[in-house]
Amino acid sequence: MVGEMIAKGKNASELFPAVVKNVASKNIEIKKLVYVYLVRYAEEQQDLALLSISTFQRALKDPNQLIRASALRVLSSIRVPIIVPIMMLAIKEASADLSPYVRKNAAHAIQKLYSLDPEQKEMLIEIIEKLLKDKSTLVAGSVVMAFEEVCPDRIDLIHKNYRKLCNLLVDVEEWGQVVIIHMLTRYARTQFVSPWRQGDVLEDNEKDFYDSDEEQKEKADKRKRPYAMDPDHRLLIRNTKPLLQSRNAAVVMAVAQLYWHIAPKSEAGIISKSLVRLLRSNREVQYIVLQNIATMSIQRKGMFEPYLKSFYVRSTDATMIKILKLEILTNLANEANISTLLREFQTYVKSQDKQFAAATIQTIGRCATSITEVSDTCLNGLVCLLSNRDEIVVAESVVVIKKLLQMQPMQHGEIIKHMAKLLDSITVPVARASILWLIGENCERVPKIAPDVLRKTAKSFTSEDDLVKLQILNLGAKLYLTNSKQTKLLTQYILNLGKYDQNYDIRDRTRFIRQLIVPNEKSGALSKYAKKIFLAQKPAPLLESPFKDRDHFQLGTLSHTLNTKATGYLELSNWPEVAPDPSVRNVEVIELAKEWTPAGKAKKENPDKKFYSESEEEEDSSESSSDSESESGSESGEDEEDDRSGDSAEDSGESGSEPEAGKGRAATRSRARGRGDSKDVDKEKENSKTSESSSGESSSIEESSSDSESESESESESESRKVTKEKEKKTKQERNPLTKDVSLLDLDDFNLVSTPVALPTPALSPSLIADLEGLNLSATSSVISVSTPVFVPGKTHVLLHRMSGKGLAAHYFFPRQPCIFGDKMVSVQITLNNTTDQKIENIHVGGKKLPMGMQMHVFNPIESLEPAGSITVSMGIDFCDSTQTASFQLCTKDDCFSVNIQPPVGELLLPVAMSEKDFKKEQGMLSGMNETSTTIIAAPQNFASSVILQKIVNVANVGVVPSGQDNIHRFAAKTVHSGSLMLVTVELKEGSTAQLIINTEKTVIGSVLLRELKPVLSQG
Amino acid sequence: MIHSLFLINCSGDIFLEKHWKSVVSQSVCDYFFEAQEKAADVENVPPVISTPHHYLISIYRDKLFFVSVIQTEVPPLFVIEFLHRVADTFQDYFGECSEAAIKDNVVIVYELLEEMLDNGFPLATESNILKELIKPPTILRSVVNSITGSSNVGDTLPTGQLSNIPWRRAGVKYTNNEAYFDVVEEIDAIIDKSGSTVFAEIQGVIDACIKLSGMPDLSLSFMNPRLLDDVSFHPCIRFKRWESERVLSFIPPDGNFRLISYRVSSQNLVAIPVYVKHSISFKENSSCGRFDITIGPKQNMGKTIEGITVTVHMPKVVLNMNLTPTQGSYTFDPVTKVQSPKIRSEQVFLQSSFCDLGTWEDRGKGLISWLKLKLLTT
């Protein structure tokens, strides 16, 4: 009926008088609907609405609390200014009501009245002050909400209630919790000194601090910090912790922001786990949580690093979620995980979701700038993407490459040429503009191409996008200045076109450029500097996270989400230099001493002891007592005494006032009566229960006061010691399997990247070497098992010819065995021959000339070499996985000879044994940028498996992977220095062709190896 | 806090509105429609939209948009969580949260919204309390009501709202006292194209259906509680007992509810009970291709796998598919996932029943985005 019309937004106001008459109806449903109607239209029909007021005033005195409450609700919802005094009166009365439910409604009514008539503020603050003292969990949330709305700056009202709010927090309903936590965060920032010390910054880099809270606490205690946290500050942090396990995402987020803003940095780590959990819920929740994580991850990377994989994108995610996840992944990227991430990004680039693919490319660009180690890899990868079929991907890559090249003013002529070619095919304006800009900037490096590009674009000038036109003009101007011979006419043609362009921007630019570069009689001093103006060094753009500037907003707020200040946003103040007087929070000084000196100690040892607050337990006891009498006594005696003892001291401190206790006694009496006539269910039980709960705490005081204080304390202490012991045991148990698991996991996923690669089992090495290696082997667990070389070519290389060595000849060869001097070195055996007829004395290695990073372990000096004698010594050289030459001097007693060793790429490897399955798995991970391949044509007899095997192992030190198929040969190795996998696949095709594929992270070596293998395989 | 609520269906009609403070004109939703248009996909409508005078926070549930109007700073998650709670309540009351169900029960919806919020601040969100205040509609009750003239609205204040156990209603009586627990675990895994696991973690929930009289106090203990990595609780669970003894001790709400949800993270090795293999090939010079997927149980689990449902989301470019499963039946829905001819695929339904569910993600060559398996282990 009418209700439906309201719901649909139709105007039903003409029915007002008829409906309002029903306000006195007996039927509750109709009554409620009338209320709904009244609240909706009262503002428009104020006079008529007044008719109903008297009904509510009567109802406010009703004995039923439900009716009192709902009358207050409706009365305060009627937005008619005339009744403000009536409302004020009603709120005042209700705030002193016995029923907490009515008081709760009074708190709600305060906000309504305030929004109707802000002039009542002072009066309302008084009521808020009164209600803040209320001990019911029901009221707390609502009154804090009213406080936030009416007088958020009156922080002084909170002082006295601070501890009570902290203690009640767990039991407040979830919506109230959110509001209270936000308020307390602001409060803490004004009242306590900062717990963040310089030392904490360092701690952020430590990885172990999120292992478990217990450990953390122990650690924190051990450290005996010079900074002593205010016990009230600690109380807040401790009491909010259990709320991290709330089912309500808003509560979890509120606690997370509280920890972020006020907890010591070492303790904030525990929130990451809960936040990651929230990522499982609805799309909208994910969105907000990810935004907050993005902000956090910029400042404290360490917090979320262990959860890196939780941020991997799923293809079912909405685009906005994907982009946020990408953002977080970028923030978390560092040297250790970048290769895993890049591999992940490769998959993302292929996504169907174009917007997401484009964002990924930008991300790769950002990684390239932030982590210099991979910038070359990234750049190569991006260049590969230029040949992608999808235009958006190509365009985005062009834009990112442009930014990267701008940042690294190195020679990248090849890339620029490649991009110039792309200009013919790309149509996306931004990309075209980027290419033109790039050519213009580097026009002196590509002197032949630039004018040609200008010629082409001049032809299509009229049909280009405005953005592109501007860049064509720029390019023309730059070329005119550097290469005016070739481009003078072209540029003038373009300037003429620009002069008559429709867009005023382009016309302006044309005029500007013409005046600046084309010499004429009027040209002023500026044109002399034209070259400087156009070809100045431009500062590189900074690729930064869009979440960088969000941290000044309190996390979890609307303002943070929108990144603008929302109305009503309350700034989080900075920590005070000196804490304001903490005693303002004392309720009564004498009780306080009791509360904090003895109990405080016990609490520190056992921080999690008293989270479940006492009122709940009491409820249990009272509940059970109403069920069965005999049980109640024993239960409360055994179970709860211990738990409560710590708290009861506190309680008595807080609420030891006389009238309250009296009420408690009354409650027990009424309870007893209720039990007596158990069949008489309805009203009596109802009443007794309400009074019970309202004075639930005070009844506890009675019980606890009967215990002697000292007894309860000692009990709690012994209890706490027991628990801490248990916990220690537990954490110890937990720690062991944990570490084991981590390493297992690593095996699965990271074996390419970060795990220490095991030392190989020696096969050919001399016994002495074997002994040495045995020692090493035990130290690390084997990950990729290095196998023995399949074949050791006897080919030696000349190090020093006897003619140039004055009779001393030296040859070297690669024994292909693991080097004993260091696991990153390639072992080299040098055979020295004395071809003279005299002794050569003191042969040793002199000065070394090694490229950066390269290391060499020399042989011990040889005292003397008999005539016609020869001796073999071994050396170790760490070539850093490159084919650079190691130059050193071979000296004798009299002379010095400069010699070089340049390793063939195949010797920079160690063979690896793996199964076909593993091989495929690894190969799968090393696709895209990490794959190089070529086609080989050769006579069929060359493709016999034994021939291929022989040829390949001759060139490179690789291990053979057993293959299930006849036409595919697989070889695996790892590089000596970095331990990166090198996977070689020879796939025989029909006819006399074969496909040679190399997968490796070390793309440089991969391609060199490919180049070396190709001729070998194709030769007869 | 929450100023107004608009319910909008997929075609963009505002079919219900409710204001808790002064009335906000429907025209505020135009900003929302604008954003919706820009987003192309309903999934991509930003949950928070800023307009000159208001902020709109919306959720998308069951093809309905719940758009709330906010005027001042408020934690956005607060509103989002609340809106989901509203949708849950509708679901609970009417069996489904659809436009038709809401329109049929508009009076109850209105009463519910009135009880759930007061002046924009959540008042009663526990389903036990709401059900005591406003009885859910049943056929029998509506017949009785129309004869006797009584109403759906209870006339007493639910005791729960006043006690410290707001989730349980008083005076529950059952002749058969029963309690059921469903343990549902999902494994989320990302498997790369070679079939190896990139990432796996277990998400589990325990859903309870409690039909016990009076005020039962239950406790539930686990064989190996340390496995549960990160737990979130229904408010009824005593946190302290869990901290000290790892026992779930609680006074349950009446009826269905989610007791706990937990996570077993990748720190513990997650064994996936089945293996998944796939291959994709494209025919040269044609727009067709072939997609095979093989799923089988892993040997070492020692459990039999009973019902497997495979769901493959094809990319939008796919127009049509011919499916040939080796076992079971299949369906293909061309509306939601197909647009141009490219791939042949198969979907296998064996049986769907629930107890243990598994979710897999697979990222094949970019074309196959993900697949979902449901299976039953015993």
Q: Domains (ranges, CATH) in chain B? A: 2-148 (3.30.450.60), 178-264 (2.60.40.1170), 274-355 (2.60.40.1170)
Q: Three-class SS of residue B233?
A: strand
Q: How many CB atoms lie within 10 A of CB A679?
A: 4
CA distance B1 to chain A (A): 9
Identify which has the larger pLDDT, A176 or B281.
A176
Helix (H) or strand (E) holding B284: none
* Predicted pLDDT of residue B68: 92
Please indicate, yes or no, whether residues A828 and A930 belong to a single structural domain of this protein. Answer: no
Instruction: Kindly state the DSSP code that residue B208 receives in the 8-state scheme.
Output: E
The nearest alpha carbon in chain A to B231 belongs to A245
- Report chain B residues whose CB lies below 8 A from the CB of A9: 14, 17, 26
The closest of B283, B159, B226, B270 to A744, measured between CA atoms, is B270
Q: Which pLDDT score is estimated for A351?
A: 76
End-to-end CA distance of chain A: 95
Asked whether residue B365 carries a pLDDT value surpassing 50, the answer given is no
Q: Would residue A522 count as lying in a domain?
A: yes
CA atoms of A103 and A91, how far apart (whole Å): 9
How far from each other are the two terminal CA atoms of chain B, in whole angstroms? 48
Q: Residue A848 maps to which CATH number?
A: 2.60.40.1150
- Smallest CA–CA distance from B18 into chain A, residue: A7
Looking at the fold, whether A854 and A962 belong to one and the same domain comes out as no
By CB neighbour count within 10 A (0-12 exposed, 13-18 middle, 19+ buried), where does B72 fall? middle
Cβ pair A247:B232 closer than 8 A? yes
Could you tell me which of A973, A949, A951, A928 has the C-alpha nearest to residue A1018? A951
Q: Are residues A855 and A925 in the same domain?
A: no
Which of A178, A693, A921 is the closest to B194 by Cβ? A921
Query: Is residue A706, in this structure, part of any structural domain at all?
Result: no
Q: Do A7 and B201 touch (CB under 8 A)?
A: no
Q: What angle do CA A664, A667, A672 make, to 5 degrees?
A: 135
Edge-to-edge strand list for the sheet holding B14-19? B14-19, B2-9, B64-70, B55-61, B48-50
Q: Is residue A341 part of a domain?
A: no
Cβ–Cβ of B234/A247 closer than 8 Å? yes
Half-sphere exposure of A868 (CA within 13 A, CB side): 1
Q: Which domain holds residue A806?
A: 797-903
Considering the domain architecture, whether residues A869 and A854 belong to the same structural domain is answered as: yes
Question: Domain check: are A846 and A946 in the same one?
Answer: no
Domain count, chain A: 4
The pLDDT tens digits for B98-126 are 888 888 888 888 888 888 888 888 888 88
Contact B43 A77 (CB under 8 A): no
Q: Provide the chain B residues 7-46 that lie in CB contact (below 8 A) with chain A.
A: 14-19, 21-23, 26, 41, 43-44, 46
Query: Which of residues A164 and B293 earns the better pLDDT score?
Result: A164
Q: Which of A245, A272, A291 best tests the B interface by mutation, with the highest count of B CBs <10 A?
A: A245
Do A912 and A899 belong to one domain? no
Structure-token pair, residue A385: 């993407």
Q: Does B81 touch chain A (CB under 8 A)?
A: yes
For residue A925, give the nearest of B192, B231, B235 by CB distance.
Answer: B192
Report the residue of A558, A700, A916 to disrupt the B interface, i.e. the one with the largest count of B CBs within 10 Å: A558
Task: Please say whether the beta carbons of A188 and A236 come within 8 A.
Answer: yes
Residue A751 to chain B, least CA–CA distance (Å): 12
- The closest CB to that of A316, out of B72, B162, B369, belongs to B369
Taking contacts as CB-CB distances below 8 angstroms, the residues of chain A near B199 are 309-310, 312
Q: Does A527 touch chain B (CB under 8 A)?
A: no
Residues A896 and A915 in one domain: no
Tell me if A876 sits within 8 A of A828, measured CB to CB. Answer: yes
Cβ of A283 within 8 Å of Cβ of B47? The answer is yes
How many A/B residue pairs have CB atoms within 8 Å?
295
B146–chain A Cβ distance below 8 A for any pair: no
Report pLDDT for B269. 63
Q: How confident is the model at residue B80 (pLDDT cuts 50, 70, 90)?
A: very high
Residue A409, number of CB atoms within 10 A of its CB:
12
Higher pLDDT, B50 or A1004: B50
Q: Is A316 on the interface with B (CB under 8 A)?
A: yes
Q: What is the DSSP string of A185-253?
A: HHHHHHHS-----HHHHHHTT-SGGGS-HHHHHHHHHHHT-SSPPPHHHHHHHHHHGGGGGBS-HHHHH
Residues A52 and A30 grouped into a single domain: yes
Q: What percent helix, strand, coil does chain A show, rounded to 5?
A: 60, 10, 30
Whether A874 and A946 share a structural domain: no
Write out chain A residues lying below 8 Å of B16, CB-based. 7-8
**pLDDT at position B305, please?**
66
CA A519, A525, A526 angle in degrees (round to 5)?
80
Interface contact B194-A925, CB threshold 8 A: yes
Which of A125, A151, A177 is where one domain is finished?
A151
CA-based nearest residue in chain B for residue A68: B157
Interface test with B, best of A29, A351, A643 (most B CBs within 10 A): A29
- A138, A250, A347 ranked by CB distance to B75: nearest: A250
Q: Which of B110, B164, B230 sits opposite A615 (nearest CB)?
A: B164
Domain presence at residue A135? yes
Chain A residues with CB under 8 Å of B81 CB are 248-250, 285
Task: Tell me what pLDDT residue A526 has.
Answer: 65
- The rounded radius of gyration (Å) of the Cα atoms in chain A is 40
DSSP state, A120?
G
| Residue ranges of B 268-287 with Cβ closer than 8 A to chain A | 268-269
Q: Are residues A809 and A928 in the same domain?
A: no
Band (pLDDT 50/70/90 cuts) for residue B246 is confident
Inter-chain CB proximity B106 and A111 less than 8 Å: no
Q: Looking at A557, A589, A621, which one is the last position of a domain?
A: A557
Contact residues on chain A for B58, CB-CB shorter than 8 A: 284
- The domain that holds A40 is classified in CATH as 1.25.10.10
- Contact state of A73 with B118 under an 8 Å Cβ cutoff: yes
Q: Say yes or no: A12 and A141 in one domain.
A: yes
Tokens of A36: 């709904």
Using DSSP, how many helices (H) and how many strands (E) does chain B show? 8, 18
Residue A273 lies in a domain: no
pLDDT of residue B67: 92
* Whole-number percent of chain B with pLDDT over 70: 68
| CB < 8 Å from B in window 167-226 of A | 170-171, 173-175, 178, 182
Task: Reduce the DSSP state of residue A998 to 3 states and report it.
Answer: strand
B104 touches chain A (CB under 8 A): no
Please tell me the distance from the alpha carbon of residue A181 to that of residue A365, in angstroms, as a whole number: 40
Q: Is A313 on the interface with B (CB under 8 A)?
A: no
Question: Which of A6, A110, A284 should one mutate to test binding to chain B, selecting the residue with the greatest count of B CBs within 10 A?
Answer: A284
Helix or strand holding residue A1006 (H, E) = helix A1003-1018
pLDDT above 80 for B92: yes
List of chain A residues with pLDDT < 50: 1-5, 8-9, 198-225, 589-783
Q: Does A452 lie at the interface with B, CB-CB under 8 angstroms?
A: no
Residues A32 and A136 both lie in one domain: yes
What is the Cα Rg of chain B in Å? 24
A705, part of any domain: no
Chain A residues with CB under 8 Å of B197 CB are: 748
Q: Does residue A657 belong to any structural domain of this protein?
A: no
**Percentage, residues of chain B above pLDDT 90:** 5
pLDDT tens digits for range B1-32:
788 999 998 888 888 888 888 788 888 888 88
Q: Are A640 and A610 in contact (CB under 8 A)?
A: no
Structural domain ending residue among the three candidates A151, A170, A199: A151
d(CA A239, CA A248): 17
The mean-pLDDT minimum among A128-137, B130-139, B143-152 falls in B143-152
Pick the residue from chain A with its C-alpha nearest to B243.
A608
Q: Across the interface, which of A174, A250, A745 has its CB nearest the CB of B269?
A: A745
Tell me which residues of chain A, numbers 124 to 143, contact chain B at a CB-CB cutoff of 8 Å. 137-138, 142
Average pLDDT value for chain B: 73
Nearest 5°: phi and psi at A968?
-120, 130
Distance CA A171, CA B164 (A): 7
Can you state the angle between helices A174-191 and A231-240, rounded to 10 degrees? 150
Distance CA B190, CA A644 (A): 47
* Residue A809 maps to a domain: yes
Inform me whether the C-beta atom of residue A145 falls under 8 Å from chain B C-beta atoms. yes
SS3 A427: coil
Chain B environment of A636 (Cβ under 8 Å) = none
